[in-house]
Amino acid sequence: MTHAIQARMARRTALLGLCGWATLPAWSAPTAPAVLTQAALQTPKALGAATLAVARAGKRLVAVGERGTVLLSDDSGKSWQQAQVPVQATLTAVCFADATTGWAAGHLGVVLRSDDAGATWHKQLDGTQAAALVLQAAQATGDAKAIANAQRLVEEGADKPFFDLEFSDAQHGFVVGAYGLMLATADGGKTWTALSPRLPNPKSLHLYGVRASGSTLLVAGEQGLLLRSTDGGASFTALESPYKGSFFGLLRSVGNVWVAYGLRGSAYRSVDAGAHWDKLDTGVPMAVGAGMALPHGGFVLMSQAGDALVGRDDGAALRRIAAREPVPVSGVALAEDGSLVLASLRGMRRLPALSVN
């Protein structure tokens, strides 16, 4: 396994308010791991923990990472403090719908919600519940293969990670993960619906990225998988992919430019919600592991070596900002003061005074 893939699996992985339990077979689901009920340890070592994603919550920065670590910064990433988290499962993704309401997701199918800008969190979903929901949805289709796959998920227990999540507002959100797992909520995470049986993903490939714009939804994943829904997730079609390697993430700029990025420095740009893709010349040979849309248009991609690649919506060449410190970057956010703040496997990093707009 290459370093890029190892880093990606560390970021997204280690290789998900229950809406209703499905009817289970005679055997019952395995006992939930203890880390799903044990609060994250409060320790100074958390400030140096591996972090896997970072997002803005108003002026605050919220980073998530290993063993349930959540870090908060109110000074653009210059200093950090640890939040209260009810689980010790590693968290791989975080997003906020507004300045106070946000979600984090990660290993063992965990989804957490915060209503105070990340200071405290409560669990809304775990892998045992998610597997039961997938089985319930599969049984509704009557598809024997889907039912068998879902039964296997239930039998295996809460061992599947989520890799990404997207909330377009405080009510509507999606979460994606390993082996084609995808769930949606329309009530802020109180209840969830399994979308996995609706996906044209016969190999149950991992889903690494999800982004939404109105009723249009794009999903990117393993082996170049690209899926699209134009009806808010009611149905999906497989898109013709420009790349056969894995996509590790998606972003959508404010100018409605979509970018899929992944292995070996690959990045592709679409202006028609995935119908056509143009290759971006990143100029880097290693994986692109993180990306974000800029508030006034354009975007930033981050290589696994810490290089920043700044792009414009007009498709002009990417501008490379060489890494000041080579670190395996797994998440990026723009701080209030204009600095890039990076989540990495070596803890949080801050790149001050960078002109990225």
Mean pLDDT of 98-114: 98
Mean pLDDT of 6-22: 37
Determine what percent of the chain is predicted with pLDDT higher than 70: 90
pLDDT tops 50 at residue 6: no
Read off the pLDDT of residues 136-157 as tens digits, 9 standing for 90 and up. Answer: 999 999 999 999 999 999 999 8
Q: Are strands 111-114 and 122-125 parallel, antiparallel or unpaired?
A: antiparallel
**Which tokens belong to 272?**
């028609």
Please write down the HEC assignment for all residues of 158-202.
CCCCEEEEEECCCCCEEEEEHHHCEEEECCCCCCCEECHHHCCCC
pTM above 0.85, yes or no: yes
Closest CA to 138 of 213, 82, 194, 222: 194
Between residues 16 and 114, which one has the greater pLDDT?
114
- d(CA 62, CA 229) in angstroms, rounded, equals 29
* Inter-residue contact 331 to 343 (CB < 8 Å): yes
pLDDT tops 80 at residue 18: no
Q: Could you state, in order of their start, the residue ranges of all structural domains in the chain?
A: 3-22+50-351
Mean pLDDT of 22-35: 58
Phi, psi at 120, each rounded to 5°: -135, 160
- Give ∠ CA 69-166-156 in degrees, rounded to 5: 65
Mean pLDDT of 166-191: 97
Q: Is 278 exposed, middle or buried (0-12, 13-18, 19+ CB in 10 A)?
A: exposed
Helix axes 144-156, 127-141, angle to 10 degrees: 170
- CATH number among 2.40.50.1020, 2.130.10.10, 1.10.287.3510, 2.40.50.140, domain 3-22+50-351: 2.130.10.10
- Strands (E) across 116-172 are located at 122-125, 162-167
pLDDT tops 50 at residue 3: no
